[in-house]
Structure 1
């Protein structure tokens, strides 16, 4: 009984800690006051929750129904696979028009913004530069600046709150890396917005007229567990912790567990020797995760990282990708490993990591090349931290 009481106390403490955090969307009175009688558009997805209810439904119930919805990668309800084109349409529940910001058009057009006074942005980030919701924020800010629209950002904590990795070089700018920031940027969306404005990254001396409804009860360094998975293949805290380190495998022939119930928590390949890598998994089509995963219906051998102490990684590590590359090299199959070198460089924001890995350099040696840029970024970041 004492043990049960102890467990209940611990559980209650955790619940209390969680409820002490008020995200931007939870401060609904502040938001509705800013909206007033303005016609708004909402940039949101399945993470846009307040009090267990989607922000769209909450706004509609308060008579603040948006005139349009903008959908990022994975769609407004977060069901599309990674890279899958998101189409325009209507929200099934409210009938509100949905305009895709993933696919052919990644930026709201002049016609998209016609009749809109304000855009409300509420999307949960995971702290990694190549997570495309950052690019969506950038393009929304740029569109607002160009068209004289007000932007309100409903801030949420960064669940992988580290600063690490190479800083993106401008020649590797893409939708998976739109800003000159490291792989793990250590900011919230609201802080990134300040950096985008303050560093002049919108171009042509433009500034976005924006405001942030700040998080209450959270500061940098505090843990944060997401109540809703931010995208189909990040189902839990462990996957989010490993995501920055394992996403590099998306440019290789090694699976990150897409097509399983534990994506971004395992790595493996049919080419790896099963006598050395005894853990195995078989990717299959899984609704709500990935319908066409790498090595579909083929047994992969590799590493199960679900019990790994990810705190030892400090958020980002090249350990796993270097190990797998060296293993393929031993088998004289190194050419079979790096299947999309250009994609690898875009994810890293530089070709330095790939080239140094191919030269056989250690992680410490590879890191030494980006230390100066990373330290310079840390100084820039200090100007925009609000928690």
Structure 2
């Protein structure tokens, strides 16, 4: 079944459920619920209803409070007429006192390059001050949280460990717990939620592109993941964040979810999002993964790859989201994967192929590779000539343990 969630197919939903994590029980993360019903004469079939569209569920939680929003360009409320409104604009129009916004990597409007420092600013439309969580600090300071009563977290994630929105989630929850603030999550689908795969992150390789002992593809929504952060006591000093989640209606991890708004500049479409867990390994090598082209995370190539073996070539140039792409202005030899079928696994063959056909294997891996992988073992396995089947077999036990660990926090199946 395919749920194509584009603007012209969205309908306001039927039931909203607010789920709260219990700070006292890992086995029972949901301890309270509230329902709000809406009707839509156009909705003759059950349609996916995201958290942000369930205003009846969360407006009572925000009225009379000073609200902070953690969001970006994906933080929108969809309309039945095919349009959408940014969450901040929606809340302001409903007389909610939004006093501050916090932006993750890529900025509040999602235009900054990967890794580019994002500065504080002001939202031009509303005049609300914007605090960057990808600039001088990645965790909100206690001063930045002063005057707030509640934080709303609404960001479209892609379900991959090294996609930094879940790291921002961690720090927001930690800062909120220290300040005694509630975090309200408006849940959204995970476009890679149909599978789990990859090595488990080892503590010595912890960084902003990997903070928790999970596989690369974790198979959880932001709401589920937040409950796991609390339940596993991953926050500093075993803090527990006062957390509420507005669940989606009619969402299944088995369904394909097509994003209506690109979550970051270099994930422009469904294909790039699906290939991202497999191709992002190249960020820790000299190989370009499509940045500086119109096929970001759909092609890979390098001047150092064998031009006799690879018949596809392209030349990266500066563009939106890649002001200085790797191998800029150089002919890169590699492969175009934009026609590949939908993946339900991390595909290693392209990484192994590029390593095997590289002119200089000694310089193929950078230190960043092990941060992305979450382990030094993957590099060592590739250098020792392991094939993809043997490598993936080494992940099996870790994935099985993780699957059991995450079970109490799942809100959807």
**Residue 219 of structure 2: aligned partner:** 186
Q: Indicate whether 1:79 and 2:79 are aligned.
A: no
Q: Is the 8 A contact 1:241 1:315 kept in 2?
A: no
Query: Equivalents in 1 of 2:296, 2:248: separation in Å?
Result: 29
- Specify the SS of the correspondent of 1:164: coil
2:288 corresponds to 1:255: yes
TM score, norm. by length of structure 2: 0.87
* Residue 7 (structure 1) aligns with: none
| Offset at residue 274 of structure 1 (A) | 2.7
* Compared CA separation, residues 203 and 158, structure 1 to 2 (3 A): same
Asked if residue 50 in structure 1 is aligned to residue 77 in structure 2, the reply is yes
SS at structure 1 position matched to 2:390: helix
Q: Distance in 1 between matches of 2:196 and 2:297?
A: 20
TM-score, reference length from structure 1: 0.92
Q: Is the 8 A contact 1:169 1:350 kept in 2?
A: yes
1:354 aligns with 2:405: no
In structure 2, the residue matched to 1:89 is: 121
Structure-to-structure mapping, 1:13-162, within 5 angstroms:
19=11, 20-51=47-78, 52-161=84-193, 162=195
In structure 2, C-alpha distance between the alignment counterparts of 1:88 and 1:109, rounded to whole Å:
13
Is 1:267 aligned with 2:297?
A: no
Does structure 1 residue 201 correspond to structure 2 residue 234? yes
Q: Note the C-alpha offset of 1:276.
A: 2.3
Report the counterpart of residue 3 of structure 1 in structure 2: none
Paired with 2:140 and 2:347, the residues of 1 have a C-alpha distance of 35
Q: Which residue of 2 aligns with 1:241?
A: 274
1:15–1:296 Cα change, 3 Å = closer
The 1:368/1:110 distance shift into structure 2, 3 A limit, reads: same
SS at match of 1:70: strand
Distance 2:224 2:350 in 1: 30
For 2:315 and 2:303, how far apart are their aligned partners in 1? 9
Match of 1:279 in 2: 312
Secondary structure of 1:83's partner? coil
- Does 2:357 align with 1:324? no
Question: For residues 151 and 69 of structure 1, what CA distance do their matches in structure 2 show?
Answer: 14
Shift of 1:369: 2.3
| Distance in 1 (alpha carbons) for counterparts of 2:6 and 2:209 | 34
Larger helix percent: 1
**1:297-316 equivalence runs, <5 A:** 297-311=329-343, 314-316=344-346
Contact 2:200–2:399 (8 Å) recurs in 1? yes
1:16 CA displacement: 8.5
- Tell me how far apart the structure 1 counterparts of residues 10 and 404 of structure 2 sit (CA, whole Å): 31
Query: Which stretch of the first structure deviates more once superposed, 359-368 or 145-154?
Result: 359-368
Q: Distance in 1 between matches of 2:117 and 2:389?
A: 38
- RMSD after superposition: 1.8
> Matched residue pairs, number?
370
Q: Which runs of 5+ in 1 are unaligned?
A: 1-9
Report if aligned partners of 2:3, 2:258 keep a CA contact under 8 Å in 1: no
Instruction: Find the aligned partners of 2:90 and 2:135 in 1 and give their Cα distance.
Output: 28
Query: Does the 8 Å CA contact 1:232/1:289 hold for their aligned counterparts?
Result: yes
Cα distance in 1 for partners of 2:131, 2:284 equals 29
2:410 counterpart of 1:377: no
Deviations 1:310-355 (A, max 9, x none): 33xx231211111100111xx4x112422x1x21111011111111
Which residue of structure 1 lines up, in the alignment, with residue 321 of structure 2? 289
After superposition, the C-alpha distances for 1:267-297 in whole angstroms (9 at most, x for unaligned) are 01112233322211111111x2311101111
CA distance in 2, matches of 1:296, 1:215: 42
Question: Conserved in 2, the CA contact under 8 Å of 1:74 and 1:231?
Answer: yes
Contact 2:4 2:257 survives alignment (8 Å): no
2:364 corresponds to 1:337: yes
Contact residue 257 and residue 263 of structure 1 kept, 8 A: yes
Q: Which runs of 5+ in 2 are unaligned?
A: 12-46, 79-83
